[in-house]
Amino acid sequence: MKTLKLRLKDKHAKQLNQLSSSVNFVWNYVNELSFKHLQRTGKFFSAYDLAEYTKGNGEFLGLHSQTIQAISETHAKSRKQFKKAKLRWRTNKPKAKTKSLGWIPFKKSAIKHLATRQSGKKALKSTLQLSLAKGQKLIIELFDSYNLALYDLNTLELVQDARGRWYACITVNTKAQTDAKVQSGKGQIGIDLGLKEAATTSNGDVLTTKQTQKWAKKLATAGRAKNKQRAQVIHAKIKNTRKDIIHKFTTKLVRNNALIVVGDIKSKSFTSKKTNLAKSTYDAGWFELKRQLDYKCKHAGCRFEIVNESYTTQTCSCCGSRQNSPKGRTGLRIREWTCECGVTHDRDINAAKNILAVGLDRLGAGIPSLK
């Protein structure tokens, strides 16, 4: 089971915006209903209870009955997850202070794949039929970079981004013949996360994700001109470019290694006002790097470990000494240092080697496949 995200053609935007208004109406109704029931009885409504109050409303709202059920289920799940008696209201009014991005859920029975055709030399376009109210159908066309004809479609959510573009997030059951596992390699590697370089491996490979700095001047120009649309385009470009760079880096790591060890550094330690490193930390994309490694390693059969990285920068990866190593904030500017054993270390590569050693120690006798 995995999720595919595909871009919809812009011609559907007007109709989808209208449907998202109906979705918001249902959300706000069950939100208020659940809160009042909690005040009266001290108990929460379940998704099953909410279904009794929304039954038969799909015809008036133009929504499929199971779409309304999916809204109730998501509301009950979110309320429980965030431990709140009442969730935020949803609205898509342009002048609203907290405008909600469009969202329309569909279950499996309301989705039908009609066709996938070639458009150009390599590009594909697919057509899906979505069920709405009684007798009503919504035909959507999307840019298909995965070839949906190869997958069994499960559920679908139409979501909107900050620029008003619509995407289809489709969960699919992959067929064995078309979804062969990516096999992991036989190596082992440690990764040190940082700010100057987002990640440095124990074999010297480096990941650089600094995109905000690259686009800083154009962002400032758009901000001074109060051109919100241009600023949104630039932010989307930064996000997509960073994600693409991380994808290529993590895929290479998984294909070449059977064990990947990463330090447990957290963004919260660097995003306070005292450190003044928030922009650099968010630009590094540590969370996205770990997220991708986690699911790619599970898919490829690679072992992924997150370990305590305390003193990995200060400790010599050869002899284990900390005598001549750089320490404290003043030592951050020192990128290379020579240990008392005579070995010269690159600061980040040395830390990555120590992180790998910690991971191997945790595994005790090691991983049989590495031998």
Domains and CATH numbers, the chain: 1-178 (no CATH), 187-370 (3.30.420)
pLDDT tens sequence for the chain (371 residues) = 788 999 999 999 999 999 999 999 999 999 999 999 999 999 888 989 998 899 888 888 999 999 999 999 999 999 989 989 999 999 988 777 788 999 999 999 999 999 999 887 778 999 999 999 888 999 999 999 888 988 889 999 999 998 889 999 999 986 543 444 567 778 899 999 988 888 999 998 999 888 888 888 999 999 999 998 899 899 999 999 999 999 999 999 999 999 999 988 888 777 777 777 788 888 888 999 999 999 899 888 899 999 988 888 888 888 877 777 777 665 667 778 788 788 888 888 888 999 999 888 866 544 443 33
In the numeric block, which tokens belong to residue 144?
Answer: 């298909």
